[in-house]
Amino acid sequence: MMRITPNIAKCLLGLLIGLPGLLAAADLNLPASARVTVKDVSELTQYNVPTGPWHNGTVPSLPVQGRMVWQVWQSKQSGRNTLQVLTDLREQLLNQGYTVLFECHDWICGGFDFRFGIEALPGPEMYVDLGNYRFLSATRKTPTGNDSYITLLVSQSAQHDFVQNIYLAGNQEEYAKPIDKAQPDKVVPNTFDGLLERRGSVILSDLVFKSGSSALTETTFVSLKKLATYMKTNPKRRIALVGHTDSIGDLDKNMALSKQRAQAVAAHLVKNYEIDAKQISAEGTGYLSPISNNLTAEGRKANRRVEAVLLSHQ
């Protein structure tokens, strides 16, 4: 009986650095630049396999039970975009007999809501750019008649490709142990609060700024609602809002613009959520801290952002 998980997992490494095809386990040479940053194995657990985009306050899903393998792979950027990475992975799954249940990308998935509505490890182990990620779920009938499931979450930072792979088999005999070079890592709640307290900062990625503008439209932003709730629940904690820009224009103007963006967010929180202004400070770093390259419109859009930084140490 063919064991799927090691081949699929190893294939992720090969695809991230451009190795062709699905290699046999005995012939696979793992490149030094690719590594597993997380490995978590649950003997018997329930996993809600996403089957549709965020809708009416939830992510449609199929609850399944079995042995689950949760891995995150990280590699130096291969020069390919997330669509190309996921397309190769999808083809490998189809060749192994999988059927795709659902596939989407960032805003089509549901953007911020979808990201925080599914199982996804926080950074730095798994980086998810809310404006540049792709998701796929698939299923396969095993030779013993049981169903196995796999989900892939693909994203990129300025320097690295990231792939999260969750594999679940209804029959423990269908599970093959991942390679031992991975080290277990503690899984923290994939909530807004969990990310903020673990990483110390969260990108408010549903805020959209036009190039050269600090205007924030009068609308409801999910990220600001969650931040306001956190601040009201923790009134003694302080948050620094840090604005960022793309690289268009000189540094002095962008430093001023990035601070204006942070100030606009702070004003929104005070006006719409009655947050105490003493809990908030606003700063700007211009284009000095990009999370993507400025060579493309997509990259510049990602760099025009505001981050919430937790200042409190208690």
Reported for 226-230, long-range contacts at CB under 8 A and 24+ positions apart, including other chains, are 226/192, 226/193, 227/192, 227/202, 227/269, 227/308, 228/269, 228/272, 228/273, 228/275, 230/192, 230/193, 230/196
Residue 109 corresponds to which tokens in the numbers above?
């998935």
Q: What DSSP string describes the chain? A: ---HHHHHHHHHHHHHTT--S---GGG----TT-EEEEEEEEEEEEEEEE-S--BTTB--EEEEEEEEEEEEEEEE--S--HHHHHHHHHHHHHHTT-EEEEEEEHHHHTHHHHHHHS--PPTTTS--BTTBEEEEEEEEE-TTS-EEEEEEEEEE-SSEEEEEEEEEESSGGG--PPPTTS-B------SHHHHHHHHSEEE-TT----TT-----SS--HHHHHHHHHHHHSTT--EEEEE---SSS-HHHHHHHHHHHHHHHHHHHHHHH---GGGEEEEE-TTSS-SS-SSSHHHHHHHS-EEEEE----
- Closest by CA to 5, choosing from 161, 179, 154, is 179
Q: Which two tokens stand for residue 77?
A: 């950027």
Do the first three CATH levels of 4-174 and 192-310 match, i.e. the same topology? no
CA distances from 115 to 64, 103, 241, 278, 294 (A): 20, 14, 21, 30, 24
> What are the extents of the domains in the chain?
4-174, 192-310
CATH topology of domain 192-310: 60s Ribosomal Protein L30; Chain: A; (3.30.1330)
Stretches where the chain sits below pLDDT 70 are 1-34, 123, 170-191, 218, 313-314
Q: What residues contact 164, with CB distance under 8 A and at least 6 apart?
A: 70, 71, 72, 73, 120, 121, 126, 151, 152, 153, 154
* Packing angle of the helix pair 251-273, 222-233 (nearest 10 deg): 70
> Cα separation of 223 and 229, whole Å?
10
CATH 3.40.1000 fits 4-174, yes or no: yes
pLDDT of residue 238: 93
pLDDT of residue 190: 52
Q: Distance between CA atoms of 97 and 60, rounded to whole angstroms?
A: 24
User: Any residues with CB less than 8 A from the CB of 177 and at least 6 apart, and which?
Assistant: 6, 41
The C-alpha angle 125, 128, 131, rounded to 5 degrees, equals 165
pLDDT of residue 25: 23
Structure tokens at 266: 């702070």
Please choose, from the candidates 205, 268, 277, 189, the residue with its C-alpha nearest in 3D space to the C-alpha of residue 239.
277
pTM more than 0.75: no
Place of tokens 């088999």: 169
Q: What is the pLDDT of residue 51?
A: 94
Residue-level pLDDT at 275: 94
Take residue 66 and report the two structure tokens written for it: 């079995």
